[in-house]
Amino acid sequence: MTLREAHAGSARRPRQPSRRAQSRRTRTQRGATAIEFAMVFPLFFAILYAIVTFSVILVAQQNLTLAASEGARAALNWQANSSMAGALAARATAACAAAQLMTTQLVGKAMQCTSTYAACGTGMQCVNVVLTYNYSAHPLVPPLPGLHLVTPNQLISNATVQLNPENIQ
């Protein structure tokens, strides 16, 4: 049996296309990748931009929560005053000052602080610190068209501290 006869029964390998046929095929596909990229890029960019936007919003919300907590802690500091109402008002003012100091880096002057005091529980006094940031008026990241529909209008955080009336004055 010769070598030719041995290979005659085996399956033949498909023939490779010539270089000319390959170059003709690649010429017809040259712009397809660019067109596909141009169609998919805006979607990927919008998703990435939304991730960045919501990440910054969550950081701002966390900053407001931390600032409200620090403001409430600042209300624990003793304030010299002759009356209980005056001492509570001074503590509420100190609470807002501390909270605003904590938020100047991220949200600046656009944040509003409201601190109130009232009786709570059995004979105790509470100081409540509420921080509000109008995100729709002062966005931290410039919004893409349509993204404002899913972003919050305001970021709000509050913290309350309970005070014993014996320790207020």
Q: Strands 111-120 and 154-163: what pairing?
A: unpaired
> Could you tell me which residues are beta bridge partners of residue 115?
129
Output the pLDDT for position 13: 66
pTM of this prediction? 0.74
Tell whether the model's pLDDT for residue 5 goes beyond 80.
no
Q: How does pLDDT run across 117-157, given as a tens digit for each residue? A: 999 888 899 999 999 999 999 999 998 888 888 899 999 99
Q: Which residue has the tokens 């900053």?
A: 63
Residue 64, number of CB atoms within 10 A of its CB: 26
Q: How does pLDDT run across 153-164, given as a tens digit for each residue? A: 999 999 999 998
How far is it, in rounded angstroms, from Cα 67 to Cα 130? 10
Tell whether the model's pLDDT for residue 6 goes beyond 90.
no
Nearest alpha carbon to residue 101 among 74, 82, 76, 127? 74
Can you give the residue ranges of every domain in the chain? 33-167
How far is it, in rounded angstroms, from Cα 77 to Cα 130? 18
Confidence of residue 80 (pLDDT cuts 50, 70, 90): confident
Confidence of residue 10 (pLDDT cuts 50, 70, 90): low
The residues near 70 (Cβ < 8 Å, ≥ 6 apart) are 98, 99, 102
